[in-house]
A and B are shown apart, each in its own frame.
Chain A
Amino acid sequence: MIFAGCDVGSLSGEAVLMEDDTIIAYEIIRVRPRPEDTAQEVTAKTLAKVGLDFGDLDYCVSTGYGRERIAFAQSSISEISCHGRGAHWANPEIRTVIDIGGQDCKVISVDKLGYMVDFVMNDKCAAGTGRFLELMAKALGVELEQLGPLALSAEDTIGITKTCSVLAMYDVLCLLYDGETPQRIASGVCMAMAERISKLAKRVGIKPEVAMTGGVAKNVAVVAQLKEILGVEQLELPEIDPQIIGALGAALFAKERAMRARRNRAVSGDVKQRKTRERRSAP
């Protein structure tokens, strides 16, 4: 059976296809203006990778902020539950998931089965989100992907004191203007980000193991600095793209729901058959 999870975020859209208990394909795209278009495009691209189409899907669950407008999904589940579930599938020892998306920042506490128990989130302000890093990369004139390596190449760091993304962007421009090196500024930016995340994480409490998911988990400097602040050795999930964890969780929920639906159908089918037999045998 084929299950799909589709995560439409504010900056990117992801889809994961699973056959039984294996990921067979995934895809990440930049969002289109309408969430339904993002979902359609990313899922179609993922299906095409393995020569399938929408008709081959047994069940699809959507998640992310645009989740309720995706017509081809049978149901939708909050991305908080999906990130917990997805990270736990990738490593069953996970009890805390730090998910930093394009426009929000969440710390999710999960139980030993991967179900969400508690969470805290900031979605009021761009501070501590992927958007913050994007703006900082823009101010530094580098690609988002270069920001982490650039920060790691710095010999020391410089304090970025402004929390507001817009004000921090102006600070970065001033620092560059004053002759500060892009390496030190990049390091300061990633440090500011890690500190912001750690403050949120401490509100919900850090239970090991801890995983970081979402696009920001791809920034090596933020991950390294966050490990140091939180005092944990590992934040990376084994052999998986941290950006697809929400979609993966959705695919796992899709499997669960499809199985439940099949069981229910089987049960009600049995009842129907029995009733037909009873009627036939009646005089």
Chain B
Amino acid sequence: MKNMQACLGCDVGAIATKTVVLMDGTVIGFEITRNEGRLVQVIEDSASRALEMAKLTLEEIGSLGGTGWGERYIPFPHFSISAISALARGVNWAHPRVRTVIDLGGLSTTVVVLNEDGRVLEYRTNDRCAAGTGFFIEQAAQALELGVEELCPMALAAPEKARISAQCAVFGESEIVSHLNEGEAVSSIASGIAYAIASGAATMLNRVGFEPELLVTGGVAKNSSVVKALEEIAGVKVEEIKVDPQELTAVGAALLAREKTGE
């Protein structure tokens, strides 16, 4: 029996799949699964875990929305939602006062400017180059033999920062290795990485021309040293995010799917 107040959103990113289940506009199930192994299986697992948390079955969900780079691999019937619309809707749901959002994803960076009603005024996506993305930060952590979550505390405690140009995600890794060989401190390199990513993000924000309030989302937003460096470089305050920075696109997809079902 379908519950029209229950909706599910699935955001199949390049590195991870995010699934949320909402009931009456509140998240009651959320799951992040890394895209390892068969993608269809990853999506099925992600959805079933989110549903389990919500204590619902797929049959009970009133509307389903799918989005993201791997949306076409979603094995169950769903509305296909554009990633930009989904992000905008999700941000408006969590932070209605936010006018600009920069999403630092696994393989792409997106800036969306919204109006008071959460409508998209302008957007820009870089999906042609992996510099400054989640992929880069994961490679960087690996080169430093650290977990991704260990980078941030190291960077925040660093007295100095190493110069990382990071114009290319592949060469960034070699740059880090040469710094290590030169005897550079790991903390300075971690700080250099944060500044390199932030400076790319700042360039993109300035190009679009952003309005406060500003929010940073996506997996990279979990690294607060990047957010702090962005505040410093762009000279702007970033709103403190109230939800998981990785769930908003999936939430937006779910909400937009529910609206479409209602039509």
Give A contacts to B, CB under 8 Å. Answer: 10, 33-34, 103, 124-126, 131, 135, 162-167, 170, 174, 177
Contact = CB atoms under 8 A, between A and B. Distances in A.
Contacts of A126: 168, 170-171
Contacts of A170: 14, 107
29 contacts: A10-B174, A33-B177, A103-B174, A124-B167, A125-B167, A125-B171, A126-B170, A126-B171, A131-B170, A162-B128, A163-B129, A164-B130, A165-B130, A165-B170, A166-B107, A166-B130, A166-B133, A166-B169, A166-B170, A167-B107, A167-B127, A167-B128, A167-B129, A167-B130, A170-B14, A170-B107, A174-B70, A177-B38, A177-B39
Contacts of B167: 124-125
Contacts of B70: 174
Q: For chain B, what secondary structure do more than half of its interface residues adopt (helix, strand, loop), or is it mixed?
A: loop
A134 to B, nearest CB: 9
A122 to B, nearest CB: 10
Nearest to A166: B130
Interface in B118-176: 127-130, 133, 135, 167-171, 174
B181 interface: yes
Nearest to A134: B170
Contacts of B38: 177
Nearest to B177: A33
Interface string B2-44: 0000000000001000000000000000000000001100000
Contact of B129 (A135, A164, A174, A177): A164
A34 B181 CA distance: 7
A166 B128 contact: no
A166 B135 contact: yes
A170 B38 CA distance: 14
Contacts of A103: 171, 174
The 9 closest A-B pairs by CB, nearest first: A166-B130, A126-B170, A125-B168, A164-B129, A166-B169, A124-B167, A33-B181, A165-B170, A126-B168
Q: Indicate the size class of the contact surface on chain B.
A: 10 to 19
Interface in B39-84: 39, 70
Residue among B38, B70, B130 facing the most chain A CB atoms (10 A cut-off): B130
Nearest to B172: A126
Interface string B174-212: 100100010000000000000000000000000000000
Given A33-B181, A103-B171, A170-B107, 12 more contacts: A124-B167, A125-B167, A135-B170, A164-B129, A164-B130, A165-B168, A166-B107, A166-B130, A167-B128, A167-B129, A167-B130, A177-B39
B176 to A, nearest CB: 12
B181 A164 contact: no
A165 B128 CA distance: 10
Contacts of A165: 130, 168-170
A131 B168 CA distance: 12
Nearest to B135: A166
A19 to B, nearest CB: 34
Contacts of A124: 167-168, 171
A162 B167 CA distance: 16
Contacts of A167: 107, 127-130
A167 B39 CA distance: 17
B14 A125 contact: no
B185 to A, nearest CB: 17
Nearest to A123: B171
A238 to B, nearest CB: 33
B57 to A, nearest CB: 28
Nearest to B126: A164
A164 B170 CA distance: 9
A146 to B, nearest CB: 21
B177 A164 contact: no
Residue among B38, B39, B168 facing the most chain A CB atoms (10 A cut-off): B168
A177 B168 CA distance: 26
Residue among A34, A124, A125, A162 facing the most chain B CB atoms (10 A cut-off): A125
A164 B171 contact: no
Contacts of A33: 177, 181
